[in-house]
């Protein structure tokens, strides 16, 4: 009785006559040059079965096919002597056809093994066995970012928790002169605690020809996944530096926020989904065509995203699926700065008008209004990152300009338009302002010593001509 077996790619059961461990549907896709369930895989590469690999890796046991990507096939296994789970990555066999590959493989693998960072997949062992070049790496109990995106659209908070962790790992590698060259969702792993790890560091360079002297008739091979590659990776592959990773991360960030790739003349994320407009500015800067206009360091990218995350009340980046942390006291106070600025602006404006209409003196009203507006500007500036704070700043600025223009016109020369017969020289004994113009008090029968007229909203004492 034949035991039931399952397809290594789609998981469907199949009979004993299946070829290469694939069901008929997946086998047809491989024969047509595409990879079942995988984008960007090497054409024609059929991963060996665990049974075929086991004799070549006696130090491993319980080999289990885990997945296939553009850089080879991955198997889950247990390391006997240390009794720990590891991931065995087998590179495509055609990678070793280049006579110089063995030397390059050893050199690059040794450099990658020196990377010791919580956000980078650790390499335990590397070598050549059974016709395959391989890596024995840390096993991550989780999923990759592509699987997360297929399962559901990530919230902006979850995206802002993942991106800074990627930036931190990239900065660590960039400081040591290592560029990933193939940042994409498939190479970003997220474990069950929400911790992020980057896989396949440097494999794009390892499987390409960068740094070699090429014949004039041979062009440099393009390394990476086209949808996520920076323009210079396609146009000038030998001049690629760490800023290409920043561009690729910008593509990944855009996809996390919108669920789509930034192709052609793409809109900013805030026009497609409800996200902070500042996130769109961050993404657009990372996606600048010219490397000089992008973020020059991944740590700056990280700081920008964390600033928006903190302003949005999401706290410090943590696990992508962790609960939202409680805002600290300083963040709680910040949320009141905008409404307080608006209240002070309204109080200063309305209070000044009320005091000027009720009080015979204008100075206290003006002092009150100026003080209230100054405080409104202070609190509006403290909340300038919020929409309400910016609104108060613009409104106060416009109101001050308008009030200055009115004051300049009203108080420039209050007696300039006095009628004929009214002198601009105050009469001796003229009383204070706000006395009615014209005749003497009612019932006196005598002309008053001076005429007092209100002209253009101001009061002036003028002697009769």
- Residues annotated catalytic, as ranges: 182
How many C-beta atoms surround the C-beta of residue 163 within 10 A?
30
Residues 249/250/251/257 CA torsion (nearest 10 deg) = 110
Query: What would the two tokens of residue 201 be?
Result: 């560091």
Query: What would the two tokens of residue 143 be?
Result: 């999923």
Q: Where are the beta strands (DSSP E) in 80-177?
A: 84-90, 123-129, 132-138, 142-144
Instruction: Tell me the sheet residues that pair with 88.
Output: 75, 136
Taking the C-alpha atoms of residue 323 and residue 312, their distance in angstroms, rounded to an integer, is 14
Taking the C-alpha atoms of residue 283 and residue 93, their distance in angstroms, rounded to an integer, is 38
Residues 166/168/169/170 CA torsion (nearest 10 deg) = 80
Rounded to the nearest angstrom, the gap between the alpha carbon of residue 380 and the centroid of all alpha carbons in its chain is: 25
Taking the C-alpha atoms of residue 89 and residue 72, their distance in angstroms, rounded to an integer, is 7
Phi, psi (deg, nearest 5) at residue 189: -100, 140
Taking the C-alpha atoms of residue 176 and residue 168, their distance in angstroms, rounded to an integer, is 13
Instruction: Tell me the sheet residues that pair with 123.
Output: 137
């Amino acid at each position: 009785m034949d035991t039931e077996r399952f397809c290594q790619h789609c998981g469907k059961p199949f009979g004993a006559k299946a070829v290469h461990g694939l069901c008929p549907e997946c086998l047809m896709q491989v024969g047509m040059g595409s990879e079942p369930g995988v984008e960007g895989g090497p054409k024609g590469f059929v991963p060996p079965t665990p049974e075929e690999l086991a004799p070549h890796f006696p130090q491993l046991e319980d080999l289990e096919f885990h997945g296939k990507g553009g850089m080879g096939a991955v198997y889950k296994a247990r390391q006997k002597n240390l009794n720990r789970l590891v991931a065995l990555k087998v590179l495509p066999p055609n990678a070793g056809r280049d006579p110089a590959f063995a030397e390059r493989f050893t050199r690059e693998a040794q450099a990658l093994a020196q990377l010791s960072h919580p956000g980078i997949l650790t390499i335990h062992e590397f070598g050549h066995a059974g016709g395959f070049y391989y890596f024995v790496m840390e096993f991550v109990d989780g999923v990759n970012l592509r699987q997360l995106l297929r399962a559901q659209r990530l919230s902006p908070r979850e995206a802002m928790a993942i991106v800074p962790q990627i930036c931190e790992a990239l900065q660590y590698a960039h400081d040591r002169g290592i560029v990933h060259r193939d940042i994409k969702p498939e190479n970003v792993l997220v474990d069950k605690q929400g911790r992020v790890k980057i896989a396949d560091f440097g494999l794009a360079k390892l499987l390409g020809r960068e740094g070699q002297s090429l014949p004039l008739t041979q062009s440099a091979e393009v390394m990476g996944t086209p949808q996520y590659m920076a323009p210079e990776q396609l146009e000038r592959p030998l001049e690629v530096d760490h800023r290409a990773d920043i561009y690729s991360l910008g593509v990944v960030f855009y996809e996390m926020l919108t669920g789509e790739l930034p192709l052609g003349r793409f809109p900013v994320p805030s026009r497609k989904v409800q996200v902070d407009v500042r996130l769109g500015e961050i993404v657009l800067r990372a996606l600048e065509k010219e490397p000089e206009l992008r973020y020059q360091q991944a740590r700056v990218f990280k700081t920008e995203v964390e600033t928006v995350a903190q302003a949005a009340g999401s706290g410090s980046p943590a696990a992508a699926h962790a609960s939202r942390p409680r805002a600290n006291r300083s963040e709680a106070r910040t949320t009141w700065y905008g409404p307080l600025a608006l209240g002070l602006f309204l109080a200063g404006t309305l209070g000044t008008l009320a005091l000027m209409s009720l009080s015979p003196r204008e100075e206290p009203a003006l002092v009150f209004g100026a003080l209230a507006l100054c405080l409104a500007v202070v609190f509006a500036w403290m909340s300038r990152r919020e929409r309400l704070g910016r609104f108060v700043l613009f409104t106060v600025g416009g109101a001050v300009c308008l009030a200055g223009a009115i004051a300049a016109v009203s108080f420039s020369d209050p007696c300039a338009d006095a009628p004929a017969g009214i002198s601009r020289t105050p009469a001796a004994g003229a009383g204070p302002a706000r006395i009615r113009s014209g005749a003497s008090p009612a019932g006196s029968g005598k002309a008053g010593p001076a005429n007092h007229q209100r002209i253009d909203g101001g009061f002036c004492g003028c002697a009769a001509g």
